[in-house]
Amino acid sequence: MYLSSKASRARQREAQNARNNRAEIVKALSHGQITRRDLYKWGLFTAGGFLAWKNGLSPLARSAFGAIPTGTPRSPLFGAQKFTQRMPRLALQTPTPLTRDAAGNAVFPAALGERPAQRLSYHTNFSANPADPAFRNPLTGRGPIEGRPPGEVFAHQRWDEFFPKVGYVFSMGQIAPNTKFHPNFPAQNPNSVWSFGPGRFARGNAPPMLLKGRYGEPILTRVYNNLPLVREENGGFGRNEIQTHFHNAHNGAESDGAANVHHFPGTFYDYRWSTTLARRDKINTQATDRRASGPDGNGGLVNVAGDFRELQGTMWFHDHRFFFTAENVYKGNFAKINYYSGPDRGNEGLADGINLRLPSGQLLDWGNLDFDVNLIVSDAAFDPTGQLFFDIFNTDGFLGDVPLVNLAYAPFMEVLPRKYRFRILNACMSRFLQLAIASPANTPVPFKFIANDGNLVVNPITLTQLDHQGIAERYDIVVDFSAFQVGSRLKLVNLLRMRGDGRGPTNTLTLAQALAGDPNDPVVGPVLEFRVVGSVPSVDVPGATQFSTSPDLSQVPAVLTEQIPVVTPVRTRMVEFGRAGNGDSRNPATGQCTPDCPETAVFPWTIKINGQEAHSMNANRISLLIPKPGEIEHWTYVNGGGGWDHPIHLHFEEGVTINRGSGSIPATERLVRKDVWRLRAGGQVTFQVQFGEYGGSYVNHCHNTVHEDFAMLMRIQLLTGVAGSPQTAVTPTPNPTPDGVVFTTPEILPEGDPRV
Ligand SMILES: [Cu+2]
């Protein structure tokens, strides 16, 4: 639909007015000047709790005329053109070595001035000595210094076995001065973007961080909350309480970052990222299989126990504060982490019969990044002054109109005419992507698909365009630029049109159509330009140069791993993700959520187990219970309908994708391990999964983070068989407060508990 410019201007004005009104209400709510009850009284909520749809009357109704970005006028670009800034590589962080003291603590180098990391949280010390200032939040004088809950339940599981060898100290804080998404854009205000920065008192980093982990080298990551103490100082969105989820590493629940353990400004949380290889208690327990290993830094390998078919590669970590995840992640609370292993070494030259020699580089023993590139693709929206904008009233899905790669607006990247590996993450809130590569002649460039959600596929799959890519899905591909001469320019192109209401994708454009752009959605079309050049500076060894004349030693072998067989399961489960209406996140007696939710929150999104009653998120309710490790189950996720597509994420374990009911299943999913499954409109998916090694409280949820916040999320409880461990029983629910954690006893849905 093309509008006359006069009508178009009027509609833009209306959308801007609606947004200004919303902004006023958000401010008034955050300052306590109006309440949720007022909003009901004014008719802005219906009896059912939904936002009233009175377009033009209600400041909470979305304008029909600003479909993308969702509900607001177009973002200003300040004259910025695409492909006029260099794509930033992610900010690689270097860990510090840790040592073990006589008490069994992990000790940081003295120069950092950090207290040692303990198996038990410092909250335990605080609870024993509340008057001792050494264990109190230094910013407020209230509550514990560490957000990790006290006692054995939140002690690091298998601490000695996976004793951390290296450590990081990060802050989550206001963005560093003069941070811009493009040189033409204004600098972001300190509270417009919040992200990780290195060190205790750091400002946030842009571009996002990258960590390199390796099997056999457990990591201790200390995250300080350096956000403003005053909740209202958030630039209009974002909550100053955080918990860091490592998506989707195999860690104890105390370090999963999604066990209702958010922490407050002034405090830290010690996460132990164990690098545990799944099935270590069941398969290859003596660590004799060389494929189950990590690089030793000197061309050799350190064997680890576990199943090499479960090695993980491309992962990320991000905020998981229940009810505020979308706001916080969009605001910048995320980073990437690659795990390296014997087969997936990040060294293309080293030939030892184990290393696959995938494109990466060879200047370093492992983890070369020269030809192994992380691409974080996301969409954003900006207010008229150019500050990052988010619509906190939208419960359906938020689509931005500015494409970002590694948080830079439509950048370019220089590449050599050789093979590259790209690790592509969809870090949008609600937008699905579908990417292809256009040659200089605007024809599709074939590439090889090698990993899905960080799991190598058995055989590389040649494609000319990717499948839909839902939020949090990671696709690793290898692109060979050797057919293109120096001077050539190629494009990474998004082919997928979205419904403006966030419901899901509509249709895939042809490459030619997408290259022409979509007047209704600037995130359809090219988002990144590749420029083929004769030399590039090395990322791995600063000061070194990589030349196009050097031989490309990298390979993409025909076999990357082995298939995990699908077997008869011990039990099956059915989980339906839908829109059943009024969720039950609020306690009817108190009106409060667990944990606390926004005053205005309503809960259209719900989950049903085995066809029983629909529920929305409550951290004190267990929806699925896994009675013991090692039992193989088949789960079917069903879409409750309504034309919505939901990318559903299971924490902690991957599943082997078996089928999509009667629907077709692409080669990139058939028998492939994943941790996020798009349900497709009206669709379903069945996968095989088993749990092991760790226990406690995890979650399963929609990764359209807007749906997640309103509150399409449920708790999973894993019981272990480890004698004496608290995780042999259902663990109590931690409830974080500024004065410390209070535990409550969770309810368990009988339909989710096989012991019943
Ligand atoms: Cu969803």
* CA 374 to centroid of ligand 1, rounded, Å: 25
Q: Is the pLDDT of residue 38 over 70?
A: no
Question: Over the chain, what is the mean pLDDT?
Answer: 92
Among residues of the chain, what percentage have pLDDT more than 90? 83
* CA 610 to centroid of ligand 1, rounded, Å: 19
* CA 703 to centroid of ligand 1, rounded, Å: 6
* CA 626 to centroid of ligand 1, rounded, Å: 24
pLDDT single digits (tens) 275-284: 999 999 999 9
pLDDT single digits (tens) 465-480: 999 999 999 999 999 9
Among residues of the chain, what percentage have pLDDT more than 70? 91
* CA 713 to centroid of ligand 1, rounded, Å: 10
* CA 706 to centroid of ligand 1, rounded, Å: 8
Question: Cα(249)–Cα(33) distance, rounded to whole angstroms?
Answer: 43
* CA 708 to centroid of ligand 1, rounded, Å: 7
* CA 558 to centroid of ligand 1, rounded, Å: 36
* CA 225 to centroid of ligand 1, rounded, Å: 28
* CA 514 to centroid of ligand 1, rounded, Å: 26
* CA 710 to centroid of ligand 1, rounded, Å: 10
What pLDDT is stored for residue 21 in this prediction? 65
- pTM for the model stands at 0.94
Q: Is the pLDDT of residue 63 over 50?
A: no
* CA 567 to centroid of ligand 1, rounded, Å: 30
Q: Residue for token digits 């842009």?
A: 206
DSSP string, 583-624: ---S-TTT---SS---TT-----EEEETT--EE---TTEEEE
Which neighbouring-strand residues pair with 647? Answer: 678
pLDDT band at 23 (very low <50, low <70, confident <90, very high): low
pLDDT single digits (tens) 628-670: 999 999 999 999 988 889 999 999 999 999 999 999 999 999 9
What pLDDT is stored for residue 710 in this prediction? 84
Sign of CA dihedral 536, 542, 545, 551: negative
* CA 70 to centroid of ligand 1, rounded, Å: 16
What pLDDT is stored for residue 9 in this prediction? 66
Is it true that the peptide bond before 218 is cis, omega within 30 degrees of 0?
no
pLDDT band at 501 (very low <50, low <70, confident <90, very high): confident
Q: Residue for token digits 């403006």?
A: 500
What pLDDT is stored for residue 215 in this prediction? 98
pLDDT single digits (tens) 710-732: 889 999 999 998 888 999 999 99
Question: Cα(519)–Cα(748) distance, rounded to whole angstroms?
Answer: 49
Question: Cα(279)–Cα(290) distance, rounded to whole angstroms?
Answer: 15
* CA 647 to centroid of ligand 1, rounded, Å: 6
* CA 349 to centroid of ligand 1, rounded, Å: 43
Question: Cα(127)–Cα(539) distance, rounded to whole angstroms?
Answer: 46
* CA 507 to centroid of ligand 1, rounded, Å: 18
* CA 721 to centroid of ligand 1, rounded, Å: 34
* CA 512 to centroid of ligand 1, rounded, Å: 30
* CA 690 to centroid of ligand 1, rounded, Å: 24
DSSP string, 498-551: E-TTSS-EEEEPPHHHHHH--TT-TTSEEEEEEEE-SEEE-SSSTT-EEETTS-
Structure tokens at 114: 């950090």
The residues whose Cβ lies within 5 A of ligand 1, an ion, are 646, 702, 704, 707
* CA 149 to centroid of ligand 1, rounded, Å: 30
The mean per-residue pLDDT over the stretch 132-146 comes to 97
What pLDDT is stored for residue 18 in this prediction? 63
> Do the Cβ atoms of 625 and 714 come closer than 8 Å?
no
* CA 494 to centroid of ligand 1, rounded, Å: 21
What pLDDT is stored for residue 15 in this prediction? 62
Of the candidates 716, 720, 76, the residue with the CA atom closest to the CA atom of residue 387: 76
pLDDT band at 22 (very low <50, low <70, confident <90, very high): low
